[in-house]
Every structure is written in C-alpha cells, then in structure tokens.
Amino acid sequence: MKVVIVGNNVAGTTLARAIRNANQETKIDIYTEESVPYYARPKLIDFVAGNIDEKDVLFYPVEWYEKNGLGLHLGSKVERIDVPGKKILVGEKWHSYDKLVLANGSSAFLPTFKGMPKDNVFTLRTLEDAKRIREAAVKAKRVVVIGGGLLGLETARALATGFPLLDITILEYAEHLLMRQLDHKGAEILQDWIAQGGTKVVTRAETEEMLGEGGQATAVRLKDGRTMDCDMVVVSAGARPNLQLAKDAVLDVHRGVIVDGSLRTSEEDIYAVGDVAEFEGRVWGMIPPALDQARIAANKVLGLDGPDYAGTVPSNILKVMGIDLTSIGTVRSEHETPDAGFEEIRAVSPDGMIYKKFVLKNDVMIGAIFLGTKKGISKVAKMIKDGQPVGAVKEKLADPMSEI
Ligand SMILES: Cc1cc2nc3c(=O)[nH]c(=O)nc-3n(C[C@H](O)[C@H](O)[C@H](O)COP(=O)(O)OP(=O)(O)OC[C@H]3O[C@@H](n4cnc5c(N)ncnc54)[C@H](O)[C@@H]3O)c2cc1C
C-alpha cells in the first residue's frame, strides 16, 4: 500500500512514525512546502529568545527519515488532488496514492489592517518567520505585539528575553489577556506580573491602521485614535486551517476539513489530521489533539482495529513571562452567562501569587486554571478526564495551598 502525507509537522510526522511502527511494508511519502525537516513550533519561541540555535530547532535529521524508510520531499508544495485518479500534483508531476492524509495544518492569520502591507509587520508560524523576526529585532527599539493570547504573550516574552533593551507593548483587543485560558481575576494577576517585568499591556485595543511610509510601519493606530510608535510589529491573531487544497478537491469543509471519528474526510481514501481537521465542529489548533488524531488515523489508514477519535481534553501547561500557567478543559469566564448546573470555585493565596479556579458542572469537574503553581495539576487533570463527581474533595478546592 502507498500512503501519501501532505505536511511534515507534528501531525504528519507522528502519523508517518505510527504507520511505520505498525507496518514495515507500507510505502510512505511525505510532501512538505517547507525546506527543513520536522521541527516543533514551540521551539521557535526559544529560537526568537536566542536560547537555541537553528540546528537545535530541528527535531529529526533527514537521516531519520531515510533510516525509517520514509520518503521526505522538502520544498514540495502539493498543488492539487485528483480524487477519482487517486493522485496528487507536485510541481509538474503527478504521484499516485492508495491512501492520502492531509496534515497540511494552518497558516498565521493576518487581519487586513489599513496601511498594509508593511515589510516590518510579521507573524510567527515558521522557522523562516522566526529568523525574520530576529533580524528585525536586532535593529529595533520599540516593538508592538498585536494579540494577547498564548502565542502573543510567548512571543513578547521571547523578544524580552532575547532583546532586553526592546520596549515592548502588547495590544489586546478583548478586555483581558488570554481570553481562552483565563478568567478576569487570573488575567489581572498575570497582567500585573507582566508589567513588573517591563512589558506594557494595553487591553480593549482594537488595531485599525499601520502608519508609516515606504513600506515601514512607524506606528500602530487604534480605532479609538490612540497611536503606539514602533519599529516593528508582530501580529499574533490566531491561525487559520489551510483549506484550499481540500476545497479544490471538493471535500466537505467548514472551518477545517470535516472528519469523522476515523479521521476520514468526505472521501473514502482521504484522511485529515491536526490543525487542518475539524472534528465535531471543532478545529483544535494544538499539539495534543494533533498527536491523538495522528496515532488513531495511522490505525485507520492501515485498516487495523483501534478506537475512534472522540476529542481531546484541551490542556495548556506553560510559563507566561516566567509564571506557571495551566489551563485544562472548559474554562468559563465571567462574560458568559453561567448555565444551570455550572459552579466556579476560586482560590487566591494571601500574597496574591497563586490563583486557582475550578469549573464544575453538576459536581463534576470540567475545567481548571492554575496560575503561579503547578502543585496538584496531575490530580486535577485526572479528575477532569475521569468525569467522576468531585465528592468530598470539593471542600478543599477553595484552599489555594491545597494540592487538589
Ligand atoms: C510559535 C508557536 C508556538 C506554539 N506553541 C504551542 C504549544 O506550546 N502547545 C501547543 O499545543 N501548540 C502550540 N502551537 C500550535 C502547534 O504548533 C500546532 O497546533 C501544530 O503545529 C499543528 O501541527 P500540524 O502538523 O497539524 O500543522 P502545521 O504545524 O501547520 O504543519 C503543516 C505543514 O504542512 C505544510 N503544508 C501546508 N500546505 C501544504 C501543501 N499544499 N503541500 C505541502 N505542504 C504543505 C506547511 O508548510 C507545514 O509545514 C504553537 C504554534 C506556534 C506557531
């Protein structure tokens, strides 16, 4: 059997490895638009920070692919899929497949601000992007980071680490940072800590225009008229699945390429995994679901028995500006109207350095935030995964020092 994989990041590589582990005979070809073998995108943060070199960003050398009998085709964009003919077009050549897996991920989203394009406005998705950002940061004095989500904060931290003299301002459109992971109280604590580190945060900041002549942004203008001077801008406004290939092949797409529990698309022999896939209305855009999906899809592609994909409990464990932040499962915020059966329990340490929040539905824990501590996270993650009622543990949740 011949399997062709489009995309060589975490989803494509994990899938190729899982297929190879299960079966030595399958012919596997991986096509990637990028010119380097697999690297984990979180490492780009360390690269921008100057903590690691380019060679340390790369995860597998080319020899790993050779050793595992995987045909790696770098710099090879898949232009089209001929569904009835079961072949893909790369450059001028068609290549046949028995099973095709789309692991072609997402691209950084760049909103259409007035005054664009500008040469010093960047997004961070690829190693090439990271190199360009470093090059610009060497010469810059002031940087504006647009977007106070996880990636925006991590990018700001990387720039602050790698270029300590940079004046950094984070602009967040919403009323607080990390809208998806934090509630208002948690964000307030985080924002204070970020400010203590010297990075400015402006919330309710809706960017409207990049000001500046000759292709260079010299200031960002907000909708309310405020302007922020800058020598460079990094936009971190999320990512969008790369859908063109699937659309041209007339696969069912919505926000992503729609898949069922077998990770199969609307075409029998075409699967989709990772950031490009949409399962039960959700495009995950994170590494843990990409890993889960790729491992499950490997079995399905080979026709082996195995569980269907049923979703992943979202979990982010990270350091934001040196502060431990974990967000697991459903993290409701005050802006949403609580549904019946929902309960939120919060705990703040007396010095304000530890903040925890637990979200319960009908006494079952469905989400949690830990800020400033990692103690007890594994127990909480297990409780969320198991879906058992919290029982007597509930009493301990309001104690910030409790390990549960
Ligand atoms: C800086 C950064 C930090 C991150 N940190 C975290 C983190 O800490 N935790 C977390 O869970 N997630 C993190 N993410 C998100 C995570 O990296 C993605 O969820 C993950 O990379 C998705 O993997 P993927 O293989 O599905 O797609 P992608 O990583 O998008 O890879 C798809 C690949 O397919 C290639 N491709 C696209 N179209 C074609 C085509 N037509 N032909 C050939 N090749 C094609 C692309 O060039 C790309 O190399 C981070 C992302 C970034 C950018």
Q: Per-residue pLDDT tens for 192-239?
A: 888 888 999 999 999 999 999 999 999 999 999 999 999 999 999 999
Q: Which residues contact 387 (CB under 8 A, 6 or more apart)?
A: 364
Query: How high is the pLDDT of residue 174?
Result: 94
Query: How high is the pLDDT of residue 54?
Result: 94
Query: How high is the pLDDT of residue 298?
Result: 98
Nearest to 159 by CA among 237, 77, 44: 44
Cα–Cα distance between 183 and 178 in angstroms, integer?
8
Chain CA centroid to CA 158, Å: 16
Q: Which residues contact 298 (CB under 8 A, 6 or more apart)?
A: 15, 18, 19, 22
> Which ligand 1 atom sits closest to the C-alpha of 126?
53
Looking at residues 320-339, what average pLDDT do you find?
Answer: 71
Sign, Cα dihedral of 391, 393, 397, 398 = positive
Give yes or no for residue 334 having a pLDDT over 60: no
Looking at residues 31-53, what average pLDDT do you find?
Answer: 96
Nearest to 265 by CA among 124, 128, 153, 99: 99
Give yes or no for residue 31 having a pLDDT over 50: yes
Q: What is the pLDDT of residues 119-172, one digit of tens each?
A: 999 999 999 999 999 999 999 999 999 999 889 999 999 999 999 999 999 999
Q: Are 172 and 202 in contact (CB under 8 A)?
A: yes
Query: How high is the pLDDT of residue 399?
Result: 87
Q: What is the CA radius of gyration of the chain?
A: 23
Looking at residues 14-43, what average pLDDT do you find?
Answer: 97
More confident residue, 183 or 55: 55
Ligand 1 touching residue 33 (CB < 6 A): yes
Helices (H) and strands (E) in the chain, counts: 10, 25
> Which ligand 1 atom sits closest to the C-alpha of 77?
42
Cα–Cα distance between 10 and 29 in angstroms, integer?
15
Give yes or no for residue 336 having a pLDDT over 70: no
C-alpha 390 to ligand 1 mean position (Å)? 36
Ligand 1 touching residue 320 (CB < 6 A): no
Least trusted range by pLDDT, from 74-78, 88-92, 331-335 = 331-335
Contacts 24+ apart (CB under 8 A), 398-403: 398/345, 398/346, 398/347, 399/347, 400/347, 400/348, 400/349, 400/354, 400/355, 400/356, 401/349, 401/354, 402/347, 402/376, 403/375, 403/376, 403/379
pTM assigned to the model: 0.90
Ligand 1 touching residue 46 (CB < 6 A): no
Q: Residue with the nearest Cα to atom 17 of ligand 1?
A: 41
Nearest to 1 by CA among 273, 301, 304: 301
Which strands make up the sheet holding 315-320, listed edge to edge?
A: 315-320, 323-329, 364-371, 355-361, 342-348
Query: How high is the pLDDT of residue 249?
Result: 98
Ligand 1 touching residue 45 (CB < 6 A): yes
Tokens representing residue 210 in the block: 């990049």
Ligand 1 touching residue 7 (CB < 6 A): yes
Ligand 1 touching residue 14 (CB < 6 A): no
Ligand 1 touching residue 123 (CB < 6 A): no
In this structure, are strands 78-82 and 87-90 parallel, antiparallel, or unpaired?
A: antiparallel
More confident residue, 340 or 160: 160
Give yes or no for residue 316 having a pLDDT over 70: no
Q: Are 256 and 278 in contact (CB under 8 A)?
A: yes
Query: How high is the pLDDT of residue 335?
Result: 47
- The DSSP annotation for 122-136 comes to E--SSHHHHHHHHHH
State what percent of residues in the chain have pLDDT above 90: 78
More confident residue, 116 or 187: 116
Ligand 1 touching residue 77 (CB < 6 A): yes
Structure letter (DSSP) for residue 310 = -
Query: How high is the pLDDT of residue 281?
Result: 96
Looking at residues 36-61, what average pLDDT do you find?
Answer: 95
Cα–Cα distance between 62 and 54 in angstroms, integer?
15
Structure letter (DSSP) for residue 264 = B
Q: Are 199 and 154 in contact (CB under 8 A)?
A: no
Tokens representing residue 399 in the block: 């104690």
Q: What is the pLDDT of residues 253-301, one digit of tens each?
A: 999 999 999 999 999 999 999 999 999 999 999 999 999 999 999 999 9
- The DSSP annotation for 60-105 comes to S-HHHHHHTTEEEETT--EEEEETTTTEEEETTEEEE-SEEEE---
Looking at residues 45-62, what average pLDDT do you find?
Answer: 95
- What is the pLDDT of the chain when averaged over all its residues? 93
Query: How high is the pLDDT of residue 350?
Result: 84
